Structure 1
Amino acid sequence: MQKVNDSMCLKMNRDTFIIPDSNQGVAVRNNEKSLRMEGSTIDRWLERLTPMLDGTHTLQAITNGLPEAFQEQVYKIVQILYENGFARDVSQNIPHQLAETVLSQYASQIEYLDQIRDSGAYRFQVYRQTKAAVMGADSLLPSLVQSLIQSGLPCFTIFLTESQQSLRPRLHEMMKKAAKKDSESKITIMQSLKNDWSTELKPYDSVLYSSHGSDLTELHALHSLCKKQGKTFLPVTISNGLAFAGPVVTAKSEVSWESAFRRIHQCRNQAPHTSPSQTACALLANVAVFEWFKEVTGVYEGRKDTSFYQLNLETLEGTWQPFLPHPLINGRVSAEPIENPAQFLETRAHQPTNLYPLFLHITSTEAGIFHVWEEADLSQLPLSQCKVQVADPRSEGPSRLFPELVCSGLTHEEARLEAGLFGLEQYISNYENEFFGENRPFNWGAGIGQTAEEGMGRALQNALHEVFQKKQDYFVSETPLNLSSLEDERCQFLWQSLKTLKPAPQLFSGEAVLGFPVIWVKAGENWHGSVGLNQKMAVSRALQTALITAQDKETCHLPYGVTASSVTVYKEKQPEFSFNEETWKETFLSPLNRLNQKVQFYELQAESFFNEHTKDIFGVVLSGVEQT
């Protein structure tokens, strides 16, 4: 922040409050911050000084004739006010040509622009000169027109279709009132020819369009046209029980309406054909026009985040929903083969990444990649549990939701991490057509981890799980496993926990999958099986599957294994337990030689936001595996 100088014309911001306190000081506050200034006479200094900081006097004029000590005190005070955002310098404002009547009538808009950016009058002048076209649904169009008039836009064009001619009397009444209020008002109504929008809309800088109903063909067409012609496009949408304004789409922005519509979740608690009230339409229109106002006047200059405003049509509760650009719209989905996985790992950092900020960022019940990621009312004994529900990335909008996944762990932190990882892997796996095209593999898995080796190991584990799930017959050895060598602390805890819920459970080995061990747990009337990269993982995953089923009887989607009511018993020599402690890297690398040419690893690119916050995303394709 530069130092104040003689030529500055400082003006106090309107949201600034000065409150004296009883401890020889004052509190200075605005909408963003507060600070305390101390001194036995500081309240009197501010009382005399702040009225002069109205933007019409330079600091030289204010301090002219004052003793040197007083001048130093004035500069000290105004420096604090200026660098903390309580006052601004208006001497550098860009000149404007607005009439005094306009400055007076729209003083609040200009003051807002002054405080957020600078040169408020000039920015408002640019806004008033913007050429805008307004069109759309009968229920929303009058509200949009009224909001534009109130915002201070004097000239714009309303496009009406043949079926909307009944709106003319109401719109003409609005136009008459606008002309009385603003002498520069010049609103026109034109007949819309849908087959010639490219010519009709060519003279305009911005298009504001309202849509009501399930047919979004016009909205898509206008969105594409505005992108092509470099126009700003602002949609207001009511469809399938959902109502939202925005996002504002410009020629330079990556954001698009299609991304927002694909991200927003299907409405479950509201009637799909709720008719919007006039109040709801006015709310949506006001928010939409204000967003467009901020875009045109440069308030949003340099802003990177994207959001839209969602309104509940029944309760009139509104919230801003941030969302990520959708890969299927931006076309940034790819799979790059990894020729040498072991060598690839040597090039990657081995420091674990904290993924919890990523999980929090992508969780939203309205427009998140995760609809929920929480413990909710799940039983937390004997295992901690967390559920995740993922939005379908392939939905054309609004997004449908996949069934909930329940994951478990020895601690709440482990359960939440597991749920987050499985949720991301389920989400990524639905881009398989984009990753592999027409050569979509029959068996493959996606993996994400806190390290690259964990991500690649999880991808292989998920691919094996898919092979195991698709089996039509499950074979189990007839003799229970000898648990005397079950020395692993984690597996022992899971085993003892299961025994508290299910009497006399038993462990059995199953038919291996591509040479990887399979373990089955007989608990009650059901069998719970899982394949693992090693015996320890197979036992742990099978026990977790049995425990989740025992803790939550309604759970039907199991991430760790499968549940079967019957299996085929066969005779086979029982393997010895081998529970050597291994790192993720050792666990991942040890099976590679066994798989030989049956495995191909990929580095996946889908959501750029993921790759910025993870140790990459991986895919594994298993070839030469027959469906059994």
Structure 2
Amino acid sequence: MPLQEEDTLAVGFGPMLLAFAESWYESGLSKLSVFISDIEATDTAKLTQLRDSARRVNLEVSLKILAAAENEEPDWKRIVEPFQFIIYAAETDDWGELRQLQEACIAERRPMLPAVAAHGLGWIGPLAEPGGGGGWESAWRRIHATVVPKSRDQERISSTAAAVLTNVVVHQWQKAGREDEELDCRKQCFILEPETLTGCWHEIVPHPLVTGYEFARQIQAPELGRILEISAEPVAPDDWFAYFNNLTSEVTGIFHNWGEGDLIQIPLAQCLVQPVDPLTAGPAQLLPAIVRSGLTHDEARRASALAGLEAHAARLLPLQLAGLPQYLQESVSVGAGSTAAEAVGRALRLCLEQKLAERLQSRRQYVRRIAWTEAEDVRCRYYLEALNITGGEVFIAAGEPLLGFSVVWVCSGTSWYVSADLSFTLALRSSLQKALDKAESAKIAPVIEEDQGARAAMIPNGEPMDYPSLTQEAVQNLKQSSAALAVFDLRSESFLGEGPFVLYGVILKEEEEVL
């Protein structure tokens, strides 16, 4: 059913409400109903002047002004009930009124489109409607703090900027009335830079602290065995690239940035990701940037994006795991992957790195040098050749196994790098990558057990990366080591929406620790 002018109510106050009324009449519309929520801040005489000016062109122009009685709180449900479409226009940083109005509109099943000026910005939408994904509050929590100019936080927007915003609102209302057109304001937010008068629409992913999230679910042993067996076709590069690219926006994205930027791409490709913090009340603060490297650009891009998802999801753990004691929440490592096996495997690898860091702080490490006879793994072979060129002779040593997993040390120049991983090859790869990336080296060099001599070893091929087998073997290995393992499905679809990747949390405790 097409919208009628008399079915629409504009709520708000101040210059923004006046600007909307002017845009409404200038577009050729005639009947306008307004509810003024702050009479003192609104020039009602100017409002009637706008009506009178429009009436000189069109005698059918009318204006109906509503307002709550003095010292009376508006009954928003009663106010919006007679209308079919609600518009909110105001310049304010007090979200209480807008939140109450939206709740009333959702309850009465009335779509509401806000046009707000606050904190030096102007924005419209998203359209709030039943099941619509959180409306303006999701937008405010998604807009990055870097977009909100602190220097203009207390400034009011100009009348020209207000006119631009309200013209866009009227245009969206007209599109809504035609029914056959897709609305820009549905699941999108228009953000206007008031000084340059430039703006565009940005997609808004519903925010979990507005629309809700699911609690993490612990996976019991029988089910864990089943989900780790599931293998799937790898997500095609074009598909995962498009997915992560859609998550990236310097204005409203889950990732503020994702790309190579100015990073040096030799000897390894590198990619940076900077996720946002989902716990901030708005605007969204940025988390620290993460850099990941790889043999190819695709590998580095995928690795950095998965690390970005993991960092973003880790901030929600206190909410999703609210039933766990804080010391256990802090022990959870988050893994992302295209399958449960990959996600759990990545989380396990992070757990091993944490356990290794704890061991390095507690006691001196003793290692035995490795004289490798053959490198079947193409990545290790390339990393070793690159290190020999850039850093001189490379020494490899085996450390004391960690919960039955390989610990491999690499010495390049005067620095030692160490990793624990699901296999010897993966541990060696990781240490070699750290050396090439010049990541933080071990603070205390290990003691080489010279009396035992070098151990001859072959570097097995680690390709293809078979996460189902690796992760299942790791679980069995942990059982033999009497380690305690807890795995949680983080129900990522509740805060990331549908996508090709899943997120799992893992807690790993040694025998003497309680889980």
For 1:307-456, list aligned pairs within 5 A.
307-339=188-220, 340=222, 341-346=224-229, 348-354=230-236, 355-439=240-324, 441=328, 442-456=330-344
Q: Does the 8 Å CA contact 2:33/2:66 hold for their aligned counterparts?
A: no
Structure 1 residues 324 and 426, CA, compared in 2 at 3 Å: closer, same or farther?
same
Q: Does the 8 Å CA contact 2:268/2:295 hold for their aligned counterparts?
A: yes
Distance of 1:139 and 1:571 partners within structure 2: 78
How many Å apart are 1:591 and its aligned residue? 1.7
Distance of 2:148 and 2:495 partners within structure 1: 30
For 1:201-212, list aligned pairs within 5 A.
201-212=80-91
Matched, 1:232 2:111: yes
1:309-337 per-position Cα deviation (integer Å, ceiling 9, x unaligned): 11122222211101211223222323233
How many Å apart are 1:410 and its aligned residue? 0.9
2:20 to 131, 135, 144: 144
Show the counterpart of 1:195.
73
Show the counterpart of 2:460.
580
Q: Does the 8 Å CA contact 1:208/1:233 hold for their aligned counterparts?
A: yes
How many Å apart are 1:396 and its aligned residue? 1.8
How many Å apart are 1:305 and its aligned residue? 6.1
Matched, 1:535 2:424: yes
Under a length normalisation based on structure 1, what TM-score does the superposition of the two structures give?
A: 0.71
Structure 1 residues 547 and 470, CA, compared in 2 at 3 Å: closer, same or farther?
same
Show the counterpart of 1:519.
408
Show the counterpart of 1:595.
478
How many Å apart are 1:611 and its aligned residue? 6.6
| Structure 2 unaligned residues grouped into runs of 5+ | none
Q: Does the 8 Å CA contact 1:280/1:316 hold for their aligned counterparts?
A: yes
How many Å apart are 1:363 and its aligned residue? 1.3
Distance of 1:242 and 1:615 partners within structure 2: 34
1:175 to 51, 72, 85: 51
Q: Report percent identity of matched pairs.
A: 28
1:506-563 per-position Cα deviation (integer Å, ceiling 9, x unaligned): 444445443323333344565433221122111211221222237xxxxxxxxxxx54
2:213 counterpart letter in structure 1? R
Q: Does the 8 Å CA contact 1:510/1:518 hold for their aligned counterparts?
A: yes
How many Å apart are 1:304 and its aligned residue? 11
1:471-499 per-position Cα deviation (integer Å, ceiling 9, x unaligned): 67065645562242461321122123233
For 1:461-610, list aligned pairs within 5 A.
461-469=349-357, 473=361, 475=363, 477-478=365-366, 481-485=369-373, 487=375, 488-510=377-399, 512-524=401-413, 526-549=415-438, 563-566=441-444, 569=447, 577=457, 579-581=459-461, 583-596=466-479, 598-607=484-493
1:160-186 per-position Cα deviation (integer Å, ceiling 9, x unaligned): 524315x12321210111222332322
2:228 counterpart letter in structure 1? L
How many Å apart are 1:609 and its aligned residue? 8.3
Q: Does the 8 Å CA contact 2:80/2:104 hold for their aligned counterparts?
A: no
Distance of 2:79 and 2:290 partners within structure 1: 51
1:404-435 per-position Cα deviation (integer Å, ceiling 9, x unaligned): 11111111111111112111222222221233
For 1:84-233, list aligned pairs within 5 A.
123=2, 126-136=3-13, 138-151=14-27, 152-165=29-42, 167-192=43-68, 195-198=73-76, 199-233=78-112
Distance of 2:98 and 2:402 partners within structure 1: 50
Distance of 1:466 and 1:320 partners within structure 2: 42
1:566 counterpart letter in structure 2? I
How many Å apart are 1:255 and its aligned residue? 4.3
Show the counterpart of 1:34.
none
Distance of 1:607 and 1:283 partners within structure 2: 36
1:215-259 per-position Cα deviation (integer Å, ceiling 9, x unaligned): 322222222222223222221223333321111112353342222
How many Å apart are 1:300 and its aligned residue? 4.9
1:145 counterpart letter in structure 2? A
How many Å apart are 1:156 and its aligned residue? 0.9
How many Å apart are 1:301 and its aligned residue? 6.5
Q: Does the 8 Å CA contact 1:338/1:602 hold for their aligned counterparts?
A: yes
1:547 counterpart letter in structure 2? L
Q: Does the 8 Å CA contact 2:367/2:446 hold for their aligned counterparts?
A: no
Structure 1 residues 164 and 275, CA, compared in 2 at 3 Å: closer, same or farther?
closer
SS at match of 1:143: helix
Show the counterpart of 2:503.
617
Structure 1 residues 291 and 549, CA, compared in 2 at 3 Å: closer, same or farther?
farther
2:34 counterpart letter in structure 1? T
Q: Does the 8 Å CA contact 1:601/1:620 hold for their aligned counterparts?
A: yes
Q: Does the 8 Å CA contact 1:444/1:619 hold for their aligned counterparts?
A: yes
SS at match of 1:473: helix
1:380 counterpart letter in structure 2? Q
Distance of 2:118 and 2:45 partners within structure 1: 27
2:304 counterpart letter in structure 1? A
2:47 counterpart letter in structure 1? L
Distance of 1:448 and 1:467 partners within structure 2: 20
Structure 1 residues 145 and 196, CA, compared in 2 at 3 Å: closer, same or farther?
same
How many Å apart are 1:128 and its aligned residue? 1.9
1:515 counterpart letter in structure 2? G
How many Å apart are 1:361 and its aligned residue? 1.6
How many Å apart are 1:378 and its aligned residue? 0.5
How many Å apart are 1:446 and its aligned residue? 2.2
Structure 1 residues 170 and 338, CA, compared in 2 at 3 Å: closer, same or farther?
same
Distance of 1:310 and 1:316 partners within structure 2: 10
SS at match of 2:54: helix
Structure 1 residues 408 and 475, CA, compared in 2 at 3 Å: closer, same or farther?
farther
SS at match of 2:507: strand
Distance of 1:243 and 1:571 partners within structure 2: 67
Matched, 1:258 2:258: no
1:241 counterpart letter in structure 2? G
Show the counterpart of 1:51.
none
Structure 1 residues 460 and 242, CA, compared in 2 at 3 Å: closer, same or farther?
farther
SS at match of 1:142: helix
The number of residue pairs the alignment matches comes to: 490
How many Å apart are 1:211 and its aligned residue? 4.2
Q: Which has the larger radius of gyration?
A: 1
Q: Does the 8 Å CA contact 1:476/1:520 hold for their aligned counterparts?
A: no
Distance of 2:121 and 2:362 partners within structure 1: 46
Distance of 1:252 and 1:359 partners within structure 2: 25
SS at match of 2:389: helix
SS at match of 1:164: coil
1:571-592 per-position Cα deviation (integer Å, ceiling 9, x unaligned): 6967765643452222212121
Structure 1 residues 502 and 245, CA, compared in 2 at 3 Å: closer, same or farther?
same
Q: Does the 8 Å CA contact 2:492/2:502 hold for their aligned counterparts?
A: no
